[in-house]
Amino acid sequence: MSTNAHDYIIEGGEKGKSRLDTLSEVLRPYTLALLEKQGLGKGMRFLDLGCGGGNVSMMASDMVGDTGKVIAVDADANMVTLAQKDTGAHAINNVSFSVMNANDIDYSDEFEIAYSRFLLSHLRRPFEVLQKMIASVKPGGKVIVEDVHFSGHFCYPECDAFDWYVEYYTTLARNNGQDANIGPQLFSMFRKAGLGNVGIEVIQPCANSGPAKQMAYLTLERIKDNLIAQKMATADIVSQMLTELKSYTDDDQTIMSLPRIFRVWGESLG
């Protein structure tokens, strides 16, 4: 999920990997259904760009089977090492990991499907990377992107800490030259890039408890140091926000969503 590891606003490491595992637990059935619908199957070559903890890579490895191949790329070497440990523990042999900035990939006519989840919103030049994804697929191959409209995040009843979290996150991304609200732009980006048969849908998991509801707290915890470093909030304010958000999250009488997720796909016209 990361681009240049130093540009990624969410801290990585083992806690970052744990956060990604929780997120992938929530999204697994949605992403699995999307990839099945778009035809990922046995013997195919699949590019997982910005693979993060490798969760989608491992899921895709089962879908493409022993005759297929998954190439997983991420800029965070530590995250890739952790993902490799997971694939090793599950004896998965058809996934190859590369440590590389998304802007530096140079694949050509190599994959049936090129995919990214929550990558373009972390890039300063997302359209350039989309073009590289298109170049990476064979004629008739597909490009699939899932990404966020972060301001579409909601909870009920109102929670000041949650509202501040959403504002802080989007501002932190903007200050870093990134767009946490890129989701609604994806359809037009795909058309502009020359993809055919472009399709779009939107999902938004919501819960009163469990992994889906935990993501806001886990994400705030992983961006807190950047908020403090950029002097967007003091350590005391962030601590107070985390306490309030944890209490809200633990209350099963409240509901909280993930950010609104746009899923867009298109075919390379070769």
Any domain includes 3: no
Which pLDDT belongs to residue 251? 98
pLDDT band at 7 (very low <50, low <70, confident <90, very high): confident
What percentage of the chain has pLDDT greater than the value 70?
98
Which of 75, 45, 71, 67 is CA-nearest to residue 57? 71
Question: Is 6 a member of any domain?
Answer: no
Domain count, the chain: 1
What is the pLDDT, as a whole number, of residue 2? 39
Strands (E), the chain: 45-49, 69-74, 95-99, 111-117, 137-149, 155-156, 196-203, 206-207, 255-257, 260-267
Whether the predicted pLDDT of 4 surpasses 90: no
Inter-CA distances, 85 with 31, 55, 169, Å:
22, 12, 30
The model's pTM: 0.95
* Residue 158, pLDDT score: 97
Which residues are CB-contacts of 124 (< 8 A; sequence separation ≥ 6)?
3, 7, 176, 177, 178
CATH number, domain of 204, equals 3.40.50.150
Mean pLDDT of the chain: 95
| Mean predicted confidence (pLDDT) in 221-238 | 95
Domain extent, residue 111, equals 13-267
Inside any domain, residue 1: no
Q: Residue 37 pLDDT more than 70?
A: yes
> Which spans in 103-210 are helix H?
126-136, 160-175, 186-192
